[in-house]
Amino acid sequence: MSLLAVGLNHRTAPNSLLELAAISGDDAPKVLADLIQADHVAEAVVLSTCNRTEIYAEVDTFHGGLADISDQLSRVCGVPLNDLAPHLYVHHEARAVGHLFTVVCGLDSMLVGETQILGQIRSAFRAAQAVGAVGGSLAALFQSALRVGKRAHSETSIDNAGASIVSVGLQIAASSLDVHRGGRLSADETRLSADAALALAHQPVSAPTLVDEPLAGSRVLIIGAGAVGGLTAAIARRAGAAELVIANRTPARAAAVAANHDARAVGLADLPHELGQADLVVSSTGATGLVVTYEMVEAALAARAGRPLVFLDLALPRDVDQAVRELPGVVLVDLESLRTALENAEATHDVEAVRSLVATEVSAFLHRRSAGRVAPTVVALRAQAAGIVQDELDRLRGRLPGLDPREWEMVTGTVRRVVDKLLHAPTVRVQQLASSPRGDSYAEALRELFDLPREVPAVVSAPDLEQP
């Protein structure tokens, strides 16, 4: 058996394909059932977020498992495998472990250091447990991953990277807004001013704060009431926003965030009206389709009397139709525009420390995994030897009834020491070699040479696994 991770994300696939690959919570049980009924998949966990869909599996063969998982992803997407394959990444054994640990720490997210992925991985793991798709192998992997994610966020400042991106995005958006104040610009002038503002993204990201209240007097509409939306509200308020409006699909959620930031809550049905009133719109929903359309913005501009409108789209897939850039007086800043700022954030907020942590934890996990794989073989060998020794001693006792207790103790002790010494070197060595390439082959050789049973001996118990 071996570990395999197959998926696609924002680095390998366009948004249109990511949307097709998304697996909802309602669909996940069926996908998991299909996977574990496949010929080569023994365990599986499905992780599907707004910018990635991944399947982690324990498989009996690499090629067979890869074929089963790839076929499943092809069916989910409704895309022929030949068209899907160029967008897939495949990680095996150590690389699969390293990839999951990197993901759970937020290093593989579009918004570096974001904490939401930790909860999403926990939910994916528990969903797989609920339908019986997880066994000891993936349970150990995901429980270790959740512990690593907690360490990364508690022991480093990686969380601040995401906050800094929001801050830089708001600074850039505010600069675009400031350029536009006082009059209506043509489409060409809008694009030029936006490019000038984006030059700020080349500046180092040092803290999740804004200076000089760049949003003073502005009306800010925030679409989305998740973690990023709440963070945006807090930073926008500190940046001097005169009015904050929180729009969300769930009114109660919008109201909860609004209450924390002295803001007004509205539903998504109110967006056409609110777009006509706002100066800056920040969107960060988890929707799979556009939330703000070209037609919606075009209609809102008619009611604005030439006042500029700046969008900061922090969602992936995008919330705002990119075509709005063609409308006079509209500026759109999105995550693609902020790519340099994202890279600066990686260089600033303990990213290297987290990568070092991941490397250490991957090595430790692989060592535990390898040792765990050979442990049943070692225990079975020693149990078999102990049984043979006891049988022979019982026969010897019947042939030598005259030995007194002290003499018998010397005989039994000598026989057991001889067997222990003969077994010491091979059992210690097989554990040392377990983490080497093809380490499993050494345990297999012991099983063949000593004709050991394939089932796990009763004396071997599952290790205590940390609960997430």
Residues serving a catalytic function are 50
**d(C-alpha 264, C-alpha 258), whole Å:** 6
Task: Tell me the Cα Rg of the chain.
Answer: 30
User: Would you give the end-to-end CA distance of the chain in angstroms?
Assistant: 24
Question: In angstroms, rounded to a whole number, what is the distance separating the alpha carbons of residues 357 and 361?
Answer: 6
Residue at token pair 């049980």:
29
- 3-state SS, residue 47: strand
DSSP for residue 85:
G
List residues bridging with 56 in a β-sheet.
Answer: 5, 45
- For residue 89, the cross-strand partners are 7
Is beta strand 280-283 parallel, antiparallel or unpaired with respect to 219-223? parallel
DSSP 96-120: HHHHHHHHHTTTTSSSTT-SHHHHH
Query: Strand pairing partners for 411?
Result: none
- Give the number of other Cβ atoms within 10 Å of residue 127's Cβ: 18
For residue 68, the SS3 value is helix
